[in-house]
Structure formats: C-alpha cells, structure tokens
Structure 1
Amino acid sequence: MAFCSLLCCGMTSNRREHRKKSSTTWRVFSLKELHSATNSFNYDNKLGEGGFGSVYWGQLWDGSQIAVKRLRVWSNKAETEFAVEVEILGRVRHKNLLTLRGYCAEGQERLIVYEYMPNLSLLSHLHGRHLAECVLDWGRRMSIAIGSAEGIAYLHHHATPHIIHRDIKASNVLLDSDFQARVADFGFAKLIPDGASHVTTKVKGTLGYLAPEYAMLGKASESCDVYSFGILLLELGSGKKPIEMRSPAVKQAITDWALPLARERRFGAIADPRLNGNYEEAELKRVVLVALICAQSKPEKRPTMLEVVDLLKGESKEKLSNLENDEMFRPEPTMSCQGVSGPDDNSDCITEETDSRVDVKQGTYSLPEAAAHIS
C-alpha cells in the first residue's frame, strides 16, 4: 500500500496539469463502484484473459463504457507493473494513446480502468477473432500506421521525461469506434532520464518484435521501439505474423521474407492478399520501405519516430527518394542462403514463434492475446 500511496501523491500534480489541457482526466475508483460497473466481474463481461489476470467490460453510472484490467494475484512484481502503467498513463495525453480513466487499489485488489475500445486490438483483426470480417481496408491501415507512429513519437520526443514503451506489437494497438489507433499497455515502459541514450534493464517483450541489441544486451532505447514498430508495419501491410512456420522445423522472420521482395521492387507480392489488390501502390511501397529501414539490426541506422511519421505521410519526396535508394534495398547479385535474418542479414535473435509476452532472461511466458483488448 505504501508504494501505491507514493504513486497517488506523485501523480497529483500531473492530474492538475492535465485538467488544464483536457476535460477528461483520471480518478481513483472504489472497488464497490467497479463491482457495480462490471456486474461483480461477471464472466459474461469478460473481454479477455492474460498472464496478469482478466479484462472486463463495464458501464459507469453515467452510461460511459469502460474496460477494467484486474490483476489476478497480488505480488511485488504485479504491484510494480501496475504502478508503472498507472504512472505512465497518468503522465500522457495524446489522441493515439489509450486514455486512463482511473485505478483502484484496495487491500490486495489492483485494477486499472481504461476508455473502452469497441474494435478491440489490431491483432484481433489481423490474426484473431475478427480476421474473417476483413474490415481493415487500405485506408484504415494507413490511418493506423500513421496514428500509432504519432503516438509513439509523442512518447519519445514530447513526453517529459521521454518514455520507451518496450512492448510495441499488434495486440497493444487498440482501435476505437472509428478504427483510430491507440497504443496501449505501459506495464513494461521505462522513463528515460535527460541526456541518457539508453537504459540497461531486464529484457521483457514479445518474441518477433525484439530489437537484437535489446534481446542480447538488455540495452533499451527509443530505437528499440522503432525496431518493433518496423515489424508491426510489415505485419499491418502484409497480414503475416512476425514469425511464421515455413516447415515443421523451419521458422522465418517477416523481414527475411519481405526484404528480398523489396529489393526486387515486388511490393505487390508483400501486400495482404485479403486486400484483393485494393491499395495505393505508392503508400504500400512507403510502408514496406519504412518498415524495413526501421527493423534493421543496426540501431544507429534506424530513423527516429518523428522521421517515421514524416516518411509515412509522404511529405518529402526527397526523403522518400533517399530511402528508396538506400543501400539495403539494392538488388543483390547472389544469395548464399535462404532466409536472411533481417535487413542487415546478421540478426538471429528470433528463436521461437509465439504470440506470447516473454521475459527473455527468465524464459517465462503469458498469453496477452486472450486479453488483446487491453494487454
């Protein structure tokens, strides 16, 4: 309780500041209020379940809809992730970040209350329960790409102090009623002190999205989020998972598959077949090139998220031309082996296909997609 008390005190000034900027701000909910809103956390209200616990749909007395993340078991680790997420979400306000409605910390109950996202997660539309509906036309995909990029750019360049998300992936991009992107789940986020280029930390994240330098050395920086976003962009444009099985014994990273096609300028072969060719060729090419330049293994060569936003919007023809002529997209005369390991052909940190959240050093897993609405 002491930790949460410090959290409450530390966020008071943030709440005052945000009240000046927005009419919607977070507040402390009572456990009784959330019991009433969710019909006592009734099974019929459950939106999903993950390693942290469950997510429930609820409705407050004023008719507004909410999503409530309820930790299954209290522990020091769960308490820390709970406090980090509330602290981060209490600091930020951006149209492409999930809005914190409030939290509850009574006894050993830890609950986070969010704005309800009726179209669930990007993952649910690309690979999950909404796959067959195929409602993500090209216009919506471009909007999601740009919107999520703008949300991450805000964290990196405009939040004070700057914030590294550390778990950018399709299940953490939620979609509102208009299919606008909201980046979510800040339980792994890190604040970056002024002047620091990175922080060294225990490796957490999701296989297939982890930057090589982070997976191997624990060096977390804004550039790690850029790498993860590159994988997300390829996933969004192609409909493929970050890692797919080529045979029972061989797994292929999405960059291994896309890079040779990009070098051959076969961008149409990368497009999600469910689009049936209904996409803007110039925009598809931008998405693929930006994705691959983000997901290269050398962090110093990756763009910033501000540059990513500009490139995706296509506002500078010169920058786009420079990107297309980058050496990584030059056709190679020969290929010595199949399945390169990424844009720089030297990254083999991806070892297993899974949609699971992973603590790489400890090898522990949980399943966030069951709770894709929030986690």
Structure 2
Amino acid sequence: MPQGALSRHIFRWKSLNREPLSWPRRVSIALDVARGVEYLHTLAHQSFIHRDLKSANILLDDDFRAKVADFGLVKLAPDSHMSVATRLAGTFGYLAPEYAVTGKITTKVDVFSFGVVLMELLTGLVALDEQRHEEKRYLVEWFWQIKSNRETLIASIDPALDAKDDIYESIYIIAELAGHCTARDPNHRPEMGHAVNVLAQLVDKWKPHEDTDPYSEVNVGLPLPLMLRGWQQEEEVETQDFSGVSRDSEGSIPAKPSGFAESFTSADAR
C-alpha cells in the first residue's frame, strides 16, 4: 500500500510535503473502511472484531483506496451481538468505554473506533493528544460538545479542507454518523452496514446518462392507430435482411420454396 497509513495524510501531511486530503477523498476513504469492517463483522464466514481500528491501521494505495490492516488483536466473535471477555488491548482514544471498564467486547467496539476515525477525518485532530488544551484533549468528548451546533462544527473542521458551502451538508451527515457510532451505550450504535449505506449515498451518486431523446422525432399529436401504422411500416423496412428476404406483417419469414431445405441439406452434407 504505497501511500502508507491514513494517519500520515491527516496529521503529518505538512511535514511529509504532501497535499492535504480533499473532502471527496476523505469520504471515499471512510466508505472503504466501513465496507472493510462490515465484512469482518457480518459478511465473512465468521464474525470478527478488529479491536484496534485507527487511522494508523488504515492503509492507502496509489489511488487512495483504503484497506483495513493490522489484525494482530483480532478476536473471533461467536455472535456479532454476544460479548466476549478479553484482556484490554487497543489504543487509548479509540477504545469504547464499555471495553475499558468491563473488558467485554462486541462488534460495537469497532463501530466506536470507526466513529473516532470519522472525527479525525472531519477535524484533522488525533484521537488523544496530551499536548492539546484540556477541553480538546480527548477528541470524542470534545466533538460531542460541538457536533449539534452547525456553526461551531463548521468552524472546527480541518482548516486544510478550506470547506465551502457545497460540502456543508455532507459534513453534517458524517458528523451525525460519527456521533451515533460513538454513543456511550453500545446498543445505541448502528451496525456497520448502516454506516456503509450513509456513506455510499455521499460517494456513489447516480447521474443520468445524457442520451438524446429517442422519442424526439415522434409526433405524439397523431392518433394512436396512425402512430402504430407508421411504426409497423418502419419495422417492415428494418427487418429486411441482407439477402433481400423480408418478413411478413407478423414478423415471420415467409416459407421457403420447395426443394430449398433439401438442397441446403445436401450441400451441407457435401
């Protein structure tokens, strides 16, 4: 994955002399990650919990398509909704609160971590930074305070984005998704399939194909019998094959002259 970890492009792009990630690219990366985690949780032959999902474990190829990486802490889940007791592992700042307190995990701990990654993509701030002012030290806690105020939210977006009005609505949608994913109660967090559906609508927007109107030359003012007669006449012309054999009014090829089939069969046999 030649472009390395996502964290380099969010937090260290200046020191590495790189261009900051554009908003469409960030949304596309988020969708790739959501699809990867959804696969682990529900689409693979068994359900797995990553346990260490973070921007440093998301790798990018030359086209900035993202892959979830580093499965050293992965845990097999007997059921996507059943909790599993395990020793505490992962990275502070991305750990779901119930995991840190009880040591029990479900797939919802990955959903929480994914929400933190969304916040990083939105703000350009790392999940936990002891050097930041106390109110911003823990990204999730601070983000929850600002996410509902649209003016404050836009003012807190990563300055490298130079956000304009045309992306505000998608910023609001992803901020809301990040909030749902990091809900304190794991039962209030969505499944990863929901995150995929939300993000896919922002990335895979269908656009109509700009074809010429096939009915532009049809005179819709004519009575229906006349229109049908005209179409039948056109069809009779179009159905004449290159040998000059035409079809009858019902679309069938007229019967061949006697001896035609016999001469064809004998010639074919030779």
**TM-score after normalising by structure 2:** 0.69
Q: Secondary structure at the match of 1:205?
A: coil
Q: Structure 1 residue 303 and structure 2 residue 190: aligned?
A: yes
Out of 87, 93, 96, the position equivalent to 1:202 is: 87
Q: 2:3 matched to 1:119?
A: yes
Q: Which residue of 2 aligns with 1:227?
A: 112
> What amino acid maps onto 1:122 in structure 2?
L
What is the match of residue 158 of structure 2? 272
Match of 1:175 in 2: 60
From the superposition, tell whether residues 196 and 259 of structure 1 become closer, same or farther in structure 2 (CA, over 3 Å): closer
Equivalent residue, structure 2, for 1:137: 22
Structure 1: which amino acid aligns with 2:127? Answer: P
User: Partners of 1:246 and 1:135 in 2: how far apart?
Assistant: 21
Task: Encode CA deviations 1:129-148: one digit per residue, 9 max, x unaligned.
Answer: 66542341111101001110
Residues 42 and 80 in structure 2, CA contact (< 8 A), matched pair in contact too? no
- The verdict on how the C-alpha distance between 1:250 and 1:138 changes in structure 2, with shifts beyond 3 A counting, is closer
- For residues 81 and 168 of structure 2, the distance between their equivalents in structure 1, rounded to whole angstroms, comes to 40
2:76 partner SS: strand
More helix by share: 2
2:111, 2:181 within 8 Å by CA — same for their partners in 1? yes
Amino acid paired to 1:121: A
SS of 1:206 mapped into structure 2 = coil
Aligned to 1:224, what secondary structure does the other structure show? helix
1: CA distance, partners of 2:162 / 2:101: 39
Alignment of 1:1-375 (within 5 A): 117-128=1-12, 132-194=17-79, 197-244=82-129, 245-247=131-133, 252-266=137-151, 267-278=153-164, 280-314=167-201
For 2:85, the aligned partner's letter is: T
- Secondary structure of 1:204's aligned partner: coil
Looking at CA atoms only, which structure, 1 or 2, has the larger radius of gyration?
Answer: 2
1:150, 1:309 within 8 Å by CA — same for their partners in 2?
yes
Q: CA RMSD for the aligned pairs?
A: 1.9
157-166 or 131-140, larger mean C-alpha shift: 131-140
- Deviation, 1:270, is 2.8
What amino acid does structure 1 have at the position aligned with 2:42? H
Q: C-alpha displacement at 1:195, in angstroms?
A: 7.2
How many Å apart are 1:264 and its aligned residue?
Answer: 1.6
Question: Identity of paired residues, percent?
Answer: 39
Distance 1:270 1:304 in 2: 27
What's the TM-score, normalizing by structure 1? 0.50
Structure 1: any 5+ residue segments left out of the alignment? 1-116, 316-375
**How far does residue 191 in structure 1 lie from its aligned partner after superposition?**
1.1
Q: Find the residue that maps to 2:27 and give its secondary structure.
A: helix
> SS at 2:90's partner residue?
strand
Aligned twin of 1:357: none
Q: Distance in 1 between matches of 2:135 and 2:146?
A: 20
CA contact (8 A) 1:124 1:130 kept: no
Q: Deviation string for 1:133-183 (max 9, x for gaps)?
A: 234111110100111001100110111211100000000000001000110
Q: Distance in 2 between matches of 1:263 and 1:250?
A: 17
Gaps of 5+ in 2: 203-270
Report the alpha carbon displacement of residue 252 of structure 1 after superposing the two structures with TM: 2.2
Cα distance, 1:314 vs. partner? Answer: 3.7
Report the CA distance shift for 1:180/1:195 in structure 2 as closer, same or farther (over 3 A): closer
SS of 1:243's equivalent in the other structure is coil
Per-residue Cα deviation, 1:16-43 (whole angstroms, up to 9, x for no partner) = xxxxxxxxxxxxxxxxxxxxxxxxxxxx
